[in-house]
Amino acid sequence: MKVRYSDERRFRRGYSIFLAGPTPRSERVQSWRKQALEILDRLGFKGTVLVPERRDWRVKFAYTDQTEWEYSGLNAATVVVFWVPRKLRTMPAFTTNVEFGFWMAQAPNKVVYGRPNGAAKTEYLDWMHKKFSSRAPLTTLEQTLAAAVEQAERLKGTHRGALAQR
């Protein structure tokens, strides 16, 4: 498995999973993506994992660099995982709402969605996911990532997105 963070400008062609969802806004808030990478490794995922976080929080970056990287990664990914452990004070996930709606309307077969029971303000995401995919949301990170690996394998031969920056 290859992992590419948003401060790594280039990534290779191949099948991939993009880890969409709330991003901590400070080092004091633990990211869910570390656990996600451990799970994907345990599941034996052989593709590229696109992580929309910096490897090093101390490095300053331009907002447009981050958003361009995410836009390219979302478009190029074979599967977009939306894991939404929303906590309004520490990880509000407002951008996630926009991205989720866009991808559910554009390519629902590319989306795998989950959120823990009790996650704040996810009712509309749940409804939209069910409306466009006919599936209920998954409720554990492990289930969500297992479904993403399965979907990535299914779409591997049909996906034409190139993993490239600009």
Q: Where are the domains of the chain?
A: 2-155
Between CA 126 and CA 129 the distance in angstroms is 5
Domain 2-155, CATH among 3.40.50.450, 3.30.450.40, 3.20.20.80, 3.40.50.970:
3.40.50.450
pLDDT in tens, the chain (166 residues): 999 999 887 666 668 999 999 988 777 889 999 999 999 999 999 999 999 998 876 666 778 888 898 998 999 999 999 999 999 989 999 999 999 999 999 999 999 999 999 999 999 999 999 999 999 999 999 999 999 999 999 998 665 544 444 3
Instruction: For residue 149, give the nearest of 32, 33, 36, 6 by alpha carbon.
Output: 36
Q: What is the pLDDT of residue 96?
A: 95
Q: Which residues contact 13 (CB under 8 A, 6 or more apart)?
A: 162, 163, 164
